[in-house]
Amino acid sequence: MTAADIRLATAGHGTAAQRASVRRMTLAIPNKGRLVEPTLALLHDAGLVFEERDRSLVSRVENVALDILFVRTNDVIEFVRDGVADLGITGGDLLAEADTDLPIVRSLGYGHCRLAAAVPRDAPQREITQLAGLRIATAHPGATRRWFEGRGIPVTVIPLSGAVEVAPRLGLADAIVDLVSSGVTLGTNGLRPIGDLLASEAVMVGNPARLVAEADAIDRLDTMLGAVLAGRRRKYVMMNAPADRLADLAALLPGLESPSVIPLAHAGMIAIHAVVGSDDVWDLLPRLKAAGASGVLVLPIEKLIT
Ligand code: AMP
């Protein structure tokens, strides 16, 4: 079987016998927790058609030679490492914890959090290096130990599987290292963050051998995911304007390339189309209006390949 045979084949192409010979890839994704919804949204937005049902163990993608394996977030890395899955989606923090060199195919732009150190609000420490000689409770003992060892700071790591933030109050530890996104949970538990060990987001990892054997298929899937993520970061803006305002408006619209300019039936009027950063829209619209634009439309971009 050649790499071409095992590419992500669109169902409906080729004969049933040809389709049957296509090796189906397996993508392991979390079945519970906060990465589930954004992961499913990304896969559906990329155009993969599959039923979630009750998130039973495996879901068959109807239009691509891919099976989705729903497993615990913590188990994704092991499934990919062992080759049970070709690819997996999990948190970057878990990759750091596992201390594995599984290649990251793509960072996915959601599930952002930090592995942060925190102490009781009235404790004297102001930075992580001041934790030398103290006891640190964490559900991330591997990453925590490596971080402190790497900097030559002696600490006692106390591994816990949950309720880490109450460990100082119970007298179990002097400080904690835990995942935070807003930091609100730390505050409500009387803790004060004093620094981050690492920043994390969801990532897609690949089994090294399969990345080679299935290079075409993985590249196709990765391209589609990348196109969705790139589209989310941008908006398509359309507007009408007097032709003599083009220079002013174009200066406001650096976009991907130069904007498209289309003559309108009304003499002296043009339509301008451009791709802009999602984060820029708020500032941009009033400036476009002030520069003569009217009928401004802002549209989402489903996919973008640059
Ligand atoms: P969960 O299964 O909900 O416990 O979380 C799984 C993953 O979500 C973690 O391994 C992180 O990669 C990610 N995550 C994002 N924000 C947070 C947060 N505030 N606390 C814990 N995990 C987070």
Measured from the Cα of 74, ligand 1's closest atom is 10
Measured from the Cα of 35, ligand 1's closest atom is 8
CATH number of the CATH domain containing 256: 3.30.70.120
Cα separation, 154 vs 135, whole angstroms = 10
CB of 164 within 6 A of ligand 1: the answer is no
Q: Tell me, in angstroms, the distance from the centre of ligand 1 to residue 209's CA.
A: 28
And the tokens for 60? Answer: 């068959």
Q: Tell me, in angstroms, the distance from the centre of ligand 1 to residue 232's CA.
A: 22
Q: Give the pLDDT confidence score for residue 306 in this predicted structure.
A: 87
- Candidates 262, 271, 267; CA nearest to 240 is 271
Q: 85 lies in which domain range?
A: 3-109+202-231
Q: What is the CA radius of gyration of the chain?
A: 25
And the tokens for 210? Answer: 């399969």
The last residue of a domain, from among 178, 199, 220: 199
Q: Is residue 249 one of the residues assigned to a domain?
A: yes
And the tokens for 227? Answer: 């196109």
Take atom 3 of ligand 1 and give the residue whose Cα is closest. 33
**Taken in order 146, 147, 150, 153, is the CA torsion positive or negative?**
negative
What pLDDT tens digit does each residue of the chain (306 aa) get? 333 333 333 334 445 555 556 889 999 999 999 999 999 999 999 999 999 876 679 999 999 999 999 999 999 999 999 999 999 999 999 999 998 989 999 999 999 999 999 999 999 999 999 999 999 999 999 999 999 999 999 999 999 998 899 999 999 999 999 999 988 889 999 999 999 999 999 999 999 999 999 999 999 999 999 999 999 999 999 999 999 999 999 999 976 678 899 999 999 999 999 999 999 999 999 999 999 999 999 999 999 998
Take atom 2 of ligand 1 and give the residue whose Cα is closest. 33
Verify that 135 and 209 share a domain, yes or no.
no
Verify that 139 and 88 share a domain, yes or no.
no
Cα separation, 112 vs 96, whole angstroms = 14
User: What separation, in Å, do the N-terminal and C-terminal C-alpha atoms of the chain show?
Assistant: 32
Verify that 225 and 170 share a domain, yes or no.
no
Q: Tell me, in angstroms, the distance from the centre of ligand 1 to residue 251's CA.
A: 42
Alpha helix ranges (H) inside the chain: 16-21, 36-45, 76-81, 92-98, 141-150, 184-188, 208-213, 215-232, 246-252, 281-290
Contact 93, 202 (CB under 8 A): no
CB of 33 within 6 A of ligand 1: the answer is yes
Q: Give the pLDDT confidence score for residue 21 in this predicted structure.
A: 67
For the chain, how many structural domains are there in total? Answer: 3
Residue 255 phi/psi, 5-degree rounding, is: 50, -155
Take atom 16 of ligand 1 and give the residue whose Cα is closest. 113
Q: Tell me, in angstroms, the distance from the centre of ligand 1 to residue 56's CA.
A: 21
